[in-house]
């Protein structure tokens, strides 16, 4: 199946999940993400995505709140309009968020940070395969961002669904190290 067709199929699959399925799945994913953090106690600088409600992305807001309480240094990104690149910003709470032009929650006050500190990235995605190749929404924001980070950064995807057998990858694609689903964690 083509990359475009996979995106269409998985957008629809995600939108067709009931609220109960999404909440239950996100809770299981959060439990497994906490296990990944416990297994890597030196990881204190974590980049998170802020889920887009209208796209029914895995809701990691409860995890973010928990990590803030536990003293993790959290970061997210905003898109620079002139370059299309992601800039790293600190996340200290979830109170001051506003939607950007894509509907992505973003801190109102942008406190820019050095991406060199990041040890783990929780990556949004639509679909992934058994080798860790992932597809997002097709803009390439995360591939560019991940390629700018230290190669030792742990790249963790989250998905409601198991992997596809294979996705045709492109030269610029950055594969995941792990993908967590409600039923299983896949290592690549």
- Specify the pTM: 0.93
* 182: pLDDT strictly greater than 90: yes
Q: Which domains does the chain have, with CATH numbers?
A: 3-187 (3.40.50.10420)
Q: What's the whole-number average pLDDT of the chain?
A: 93
Is-contact 121 156, C-beta < 8 A? yes
pLDDT, residue 86, reads: 83
* 98: pLDDT strictly greater than 80: yes
Of 139 and 108, the one with more pLDDT? 108
């Amino acid at each position: 199946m083509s990359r475009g067709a996979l995106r269409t199929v998985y957008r629809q699959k995600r939108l067709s999940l009931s609220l109960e399925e999404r909440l239950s799945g996100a809770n299981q994913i959060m439990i497994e993400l906490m296990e990944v953090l416990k297994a890597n106690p030196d990881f204190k600088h974590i980049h998170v995505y802020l889920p887009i409600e209208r796209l029914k992305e895995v809701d990691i807001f409860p995890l973010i709140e928990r990590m803030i309480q536990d003293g993790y240094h959290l970061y997210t990104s905003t898109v620079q309009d002139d370059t299309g690149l992601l800039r790293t910003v600190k996340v200290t709470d979830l109170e001051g968020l506003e939607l950007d032009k894509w509907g992505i929650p973003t801190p109102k006050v942008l406190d820019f940070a050095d991406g060199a500190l990041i040890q783990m990235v929780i990556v949004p995605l639509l679909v992934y395969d058994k080798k860790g190749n992932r597809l997002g929404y097709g803009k390439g924001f995360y591939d560019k961002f991940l390629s700018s980070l230290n190669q030792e950064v742990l790249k963790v995807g989250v998905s409601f669904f198991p992997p596809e057998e294979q996705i045709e990858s492109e030269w610029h694609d950055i594969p995941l190290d792990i993908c967590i689903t409600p039923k299983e964690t896949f290592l690549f």
